[in-house]
Amino acid sequence: MSAQPTRAQRIPATAMRLPRIDPLGALVSVVGAVALLWLPFAVFKPNRVLPGDSHALAQVLPPSATLGCLLVLMLVALTALGVGNAWLRLAAALLGLIAVSAAIAAAGNLLTPPGNKVVRVAPGSGFWVLLLAIGLMATDAITRLRPRPIVRVLMLALFAAIACLALAHGVFDNLSVMREYAVNADRFAHELRRHLALALGSLGAAVVVALPLGIVCHQVPRLRAGILGALNVVQTIPAIALYGILMAPLGALAAAVPLAARLGISGIGAAPALLALFLYSLLPVVANTVAGLARVSPAAVEAARGMGMTRRQTLTGVELVLALPTILTGIRIVLVQNIGLVTIAALIGGGGLGVFVFQGIGQTAIDLVLLGAIPTVALGFTAAVLLDALVETMHRSREP
Which residues contact another protein by CB under 8 A? 297, 299-310, 313, 318, 321-322, 397-400
Which of 258, 306 has the CB closer to another protein?
306
Which of 262, 312 has the CB closer to another protein?
312
Least distance from another protein to the Cβ atom of residue 80, Å: 39
Which of 273, 390 has the CB closer to another protein?
390
C-beta neighbour count of 337 within 10 angstroms = 18
Which of 242, 304 has the CB closer to another protein?
304
Which of 23, 306 has the CB closer to another protein?
306
CA–CA distance, 304 with 264 (Å, rounded to integer): 47
Least distance from another protein to the Cβ atom of residue 223, Å: 21
Least distance from another protein to the Cβ atom of residue 396, Å: 11
Q: Which residues contact 90 (CB under 8 A, 6 or more apart)?
A: 138, 141, 142, 145
Q: Between the CA atoms of 289, 290, 292 and 296, what dihedral angle is there, to the nearest 10 degrees?
A: 130
Q: Which residues contact 330 (CB under 8 A, 6 or more apart)?
A: 284, 285, 286, 287, 288, 289, 292
Helix/strand/coil percentages in the chain, nearest 5: 80, 5, 20
Least distance from another protein to the Cβ atom of residue 370, Å: 45
Least distance from another protein to the Cβ atom of residue 305, Å: 6
Which of 229, 308 has the CB closer to another protein?
308
C-beta neighbour count of 141 within 10 angstroms = 23
CA–CA distance, 353 with 336 (Å, rounded to integer): 15
Least distance from another protein to the Cβ atom of residue 311, Å: 8
Least distance from another protein to the Cβ atom of residue 219, Å: 16
Which of 36, 304 has the CB closer to another protein?
304
Which of 238, 400 has the CB closer to another protein?
400
Please check whether residue 274 is in contact with residue 343, taking contact to mean a CB–CB distance below 8 angstroms.
Answer: no
CA–CA distance, 247 with 265 (Å, rounded to integer): 10
Least distance from another protein to the Cβ atom of residue 288, Å: 18
Q: Which residues pair with 175 in a beta bridge?
A: 121
Q: Which residues contact 89 (CB under 8 A, 6 or more apart)?
A: 79, 80, 83, 137, 140, 141, 144
Least distance from another protein to the Cβ atom of residue 299, Å: 4
**266 phi and psi, to 5 degrees?**
-155, 175
Residues in the chain: 400
Which of 206, 323 has the CB closer to another protein?
323
| Residue of 71, 67, 48 whose CA lies nearest to 122 | 48
Q: Between the CA atoms of 378, 335, 195 and 197, what dihedral angle is there, to the nearest 10 degrees?
A: -130
